[in-house]
Amino acid sequence: MIGRRLRLGLTLRLTLTFAVGALLLSTAVALGSYVFTATFLVHEQERTALHQTYLNAAIVRGRLLGPQADVPGILDALTTGSSTNTIIYNDGRWYSSSLLVSRDALPATVRRTTLSGSVVRTWTRIGHSPELIIGVPLPAADSAYFQAFDESSLRHTLFVLQSVLLAAASAATAAGAGIGWWASRRLTAPLRAVAAAARRLAAGNLDTSLPEESDRELTGLVESFNTMVATLRERIQRDARFAADVSHELRSPLTTLTTSLSVLQGRRDELSDRARAALDLLGTELARFERLVEDLLEISRADTNASDQEREPVRVGELVLNVLEQQRYADISADLDSSALEAVVAGDKRRLQQVLSNLLDNAAAYAGGATQVSARATDRTVTVFVDDAGPGVATEERQLVFDRFARGRNATRRGSQAGSGLGLALVAEHVRAHGGRVWVTDAPTGGARFAVELPRSST
Amino acid sequence: MGVVAASVLIVDDDDGIRTSLRLALEDNGYVVSEAADGEAALGQVKAQPPDVVILDLMLPGMDGFECCRQLRRSSDVPVLIVSARGDSHDVVAGLEAGADDYIRKPFDVPELTARVRALRRRVRTTPEHPGQVRANGIEINPDRGEVTVDGKAVHLTKTEFRLLYELAAHPGRVFSREMLLERVWDYGYFADARIVDVHIGRLRAKIEPDTSNPRHLVTVRGFGYKIDA
């Protein structure tokens, strides 16, 4: 959980960092470009306009000072662009090349300043259009010449420039975020691989290892992780092997013991009463000891992952009925519906049999024996229930009973029936190895109900 | 137990096991001999063939697998291997070396004697088993213990003989592994079906010209084995 939060945080942080960096950088570049370009364009425009106005003003002055000065004729003769309007003040009267842009279009300060003898250059607004107005006094002719430039196209150019720069800045920010995300994924990929491997390891898969890493900075991490796994595996397997070796070494003397015991049992009649009682005790305890050795061996085999499991199609119903056929389970009723009888699982028959007989023996040891075995199937699973009429299992002990050598509070030993203490742990191990689950609840008739759910095989 | 007492050879390096087994088996009416290692066992089988050999797989010097292989070269005596290892690969290896059945340590004496009895069972002529059998080029004469495949004599161990007879006596019928375990080895539902598979493999090696493409003894996928008429 902590690993996950850290991973998300790192990715998010890196992504944000890259995005913010890209945003700042691209905004600065865009803003700079805009200011520089706009200033340059406006300046150029003003210079051109001024130049043109001076030229025209010179022509106007010449004409006005010449004979037969006809102001409207002068206006018509001037060459200006279509977006430029000219206004002439002469002898107290105003002449305009356009009806729209006349004397009133000129700001009062412009008129005053020009007429008082200064060149004026100013920006104003006529209708919706930005206008550059330049006024040139012509004192020799007692006149003034004004030219108004419609700069809508300049405004449009600047608007397009703005849009392009804004789009570029946004794209750069998004790209920054993308690169940040990608980089963080790249950066955290080894972390995620380690986390996933650790999870597999925790789930009991001791064959877990990380693939060789070419990145020099990560080689250390990968190597130490793999070394840790190897050490862990070795230690676990050594422990399990030790248990297996001990049980294994016990098998030969156990064989001698059980065989000799059977010789004695065959000659019971030759013994005294006291010797017979001792012999019976010996038989009971030897059987229990044998069981313990077998269970220890079995469970250490599960621990070392020695998967000698024979997987074959097993009909669960058939298996249940075959187990119940044994003499010691004669009092147990079976309730299998037709779907459960048909259900097939891919399993190890011997281990599945052990699951059921361990549950039955557990019921015999602690609950006065199982009363009923039932089985139900769904499309995907088949579940076997073992009910008993005992005191049941307390809620807080329902997990613990599957632990090794766990003895519940109510689990008083009942004579010779007591098991190895590994029976239910083995049930849990075997069921887990089959991809199923086992749990305990209350039986409908009182007592405990152990349930084993196994996945059905597809065939 | 029959009129003639059955003889059993116990091959085990553990004194305690040999002695206790001798006592138990003798109490059950068997004639018992002992060998502490593989070489001694081979010599004893040669000198006086027992009805059944009980062979421990872990022996000093020549191990049980090798002993079994050498035994098979000259004898078709039923061999029951005793496996103390947890590893089930050993069981298969032992069966492939020529053993007829296996039992795990520690075992009960009744369990052991049941296995020995099953190994000693011979093909009996009954209405179901009518004596001489012919199917798909295979000819079996149970009285003389002779088998010919496509006219050529084949030498089989007793268990292989019984297995082949079971299949050939019911031409065309498919036998599941469980059925064969019950009929040939006298096992119940929970027996190890690999015993059948290994024996089928050995049988094919002897009667099939091409084991990868068997003509006589065919596998019916998902069901079992059969011999056609």
pLDDT, tens digit, 9 for 90 and up, residues A149-187 = 888 888 899 999 999 999 999 999 999 999 988 988 888
Q: Which of A237, A249, A250, A252 to mutate to test the interface with B (most CBs of B within 10 A)?
A: A252
| pLDDT on residue A415 | 47
Say whether A266 and B27 touch across the interface (CB within 8 A): yes
Say whether A262 and B24 touch across the interface (CB within 8 A): yes
Does B50 score more than 80 pLDDT?
Answer: yes
- Across the beta sheet with B7-11, the strand order is B31-35, B7-11, B52-56, B79-83, B101-104
Which of A248, A318, A319 is nearest residue B85 as measured by Cβ atoms? A248
Say whether A308 and B192 touch across the interface (CB within 8 A): no
Which of B87, B108, B192 is nearest residue A262 as measured by Cβ atoms? B108
- pLDDT tens for each residue of B111-167: 999 999 988 887 665 656 667 888 888 999 888 888 999 889 999 988 999 899 989
Which of B20, B85, B88 is nearest residue A263 as measured by Cβ atoms? B20
The answer to whether the peptide bond before residue A190 is cis (omega within 30 degrees of 0) is no
| pLDDT on residue A416 | 47
Strands B152-154 and B146-149 turn out to be antiparallel
The residue-averaged pLDDT of B37-56 equals 93
- pLDDT tens for each residue of A119-156: 988 888 887 888 899 999 988 888 889 988 888 888 89
pTM of structure: 0.64
The residue-averaged pLDDT of A14-27 equals 90
Min Cα separation A255/chain B (Å): 4
Q: What is the rounded CA–CA span in Å between residue A27 and residue A424?
A: 68
Say whether A318 and B17 touch across the interface (CB within 8 A): no
Q: What is the rounded CA–CA span in Å between residue B215 and residue B228?
A: 9
Min Cα separation B98/chain A (Å): 21
B20: which chain A residues are within 8 Å (Cβ-Cβ)? 255-256, 259-260, 263
A254: which chain B residues are within 8 Å (Cβ-Cβ)? 105-106
Say whether B109 and A310 touch across the interface (CB within 8 A): no
ipTM of the complex: 0.84
Say whether B86 and A248 touch across the interface (CB within 8 A): yes
A297: which chain B residues are within 8 Å (Cβ-Cβ)? 86
Min Cα separation B175/chain A (Å): 16
